[in-house]
Amino acid sequence: MKEKIRVAMIMGKMVGGGVESVVLNYYRYINRQHIQFDFYIDEDSTIVPEKEIESLGGKVFRLPPYQHLFSYSKNLKELLKQNEYEIVHSHLNTLSVFPLRVAKQCGVPVRIAHNHSTSAPGEHVSNLIKTCLKPLSKIYPTNFVSPTKHAGQWLFGETIANNDLFILKNAIETENFLFNQEVRQAFRKKLGYQPDDFVIGNIGRLVWQKNQVFVIQVFAKVIQEIPNAKLLIIGEGHLKEELMALVKQLNLTAAVTFIPYVSHVENYFQAMDLFLFPSHYEGLGMTVIEAQVSGLFVLGSSELPKDVELTTQYKALNLSAPVEEWVQVIVANRSYKRCGQRETIINNGYEISVEANQLEKYYMRFYENGDM
């Protein structure tokens, strides 16, 4: 076999989001004697673990933002030709059409389109772009990947989802998320919480998709029922100022804590008592899996795929349900006895040490079949 296969990972903007976490998890655990990743990112990326990537043997290449399509394509073409990749793996969802088109022009034999997301009414401009690009999603890839069949079918269609789709779970280091009382006490103290405070958590980019406005609206009602309730929101995004203004408007400043992107989010799960995740849409919803491993009761929206419903500690409500119904579920589970579900999560394919082997086999199959 070849000495080592280098894979060009097309990441777009690295801003500390879930997709980046997934790819980095796989990178840490894949056999790097056989497979190496190089990361192609937009030059306006804000959170880039460059030192870690380089320490693992990878390279980081910065490109003009993909909104500047001509210069983005020109620079990408030069780099792909220079590095002579045999696999390009794009994580840009519907936008993968652009880097994979360049990859085909460069003669890259294996071109993987990886869709992590779907769509929902509300993001009008984004949905218009997705609608225009969806018909092009099958032209340039040679192979198709998604974390769930639902996400794959949404972009690539039913035929590919049923016959040619490789499901790559958003796997995690499950052991890191197991409940730890000492870590819980330390991080609650760090965050200024009292032992009897009831902490509701939310983790995700501060964007419309993640629906933190609704999180705050629900919390405003919860605190009327549970006066010692606290809300912990972790993430960055363009809605941060708007969300902080809403918290101030509702006189919740003393009860709500905003924390920017953190590298070890598992420690913050320990400080929480309930995880609230009412997203408008998700390809999967990685943090919901992580929260269940840590033993939290999770209340999500019915817009999340059924794949996240792995344990009895997960409940979904429709976003059209009254705020009071969400509050009622939260209040009813304020004394939920935390219990880890690691074995269940592993059995459903979310342990990274196992799933990284599956990704390696997937890449190696191209070499063994003579596709590159």
Residue in this structure with the two tokens 């996400």, named with its chain if needed? 151
Query: Range with the lowest mean pLDDT among 100-114, 196-210, 261-275?
Result: 261-275
Would you state the pLDDT for residue 369?
82
Give the pLDDT mean for 17-21: 86
Q: Assess whether pLDDT exceeds 70 at residue 125.
A: no
Question: What is this structure's pTM?
Answer: 0.82
Residue 200: exposure state from Cβ atoms within 10 A (0-12, 13-18, ≥19): buried
What percentage of the chain carries pLDDT values higher than 70? 97
Contact call for residues 232 and 272 (beta carbons, < 8 A): yes
- 3-class SS at 219? helix
Class of domain 174-347: alpha beta
Query: Range with the lowest mean pLDDT among 70-84, 98-112, 166-180, 244-258?
Result: 166-180
- Token digits of residue 53: 């990537």
Q: What sign does the dihedral 185-191-193-198 (CA atoms) show? A: negative
Residue 362: exposure state from Cβ atoms within 10 A (0-12, 13-18, ≥19): middle
The topology under which CATH files domain 5-171+351-368 is Rossmann fold (3.40.50)
Domain ranges, ordered by start, for the chain: 5-171+351-368, 174-347
pLDDT confidence band for 130 (50 / 70 / 90): confident
Q: Do domains 5-171+351-368 and 174-347 have the same CATH topology?
A: yes
Tell me the per-residue pLDDT of 205-248, one tens digit each, with 9 for 90 and over.
Answer: 899 999 999 999 999 999 999 999 999 999 998 999 999 999 99
HSE-up (13 A, CA, CB side) for residue 370: 0
For residues 65 and 315, what is the distance between their CA atoms, to the nearest angstrom?
39
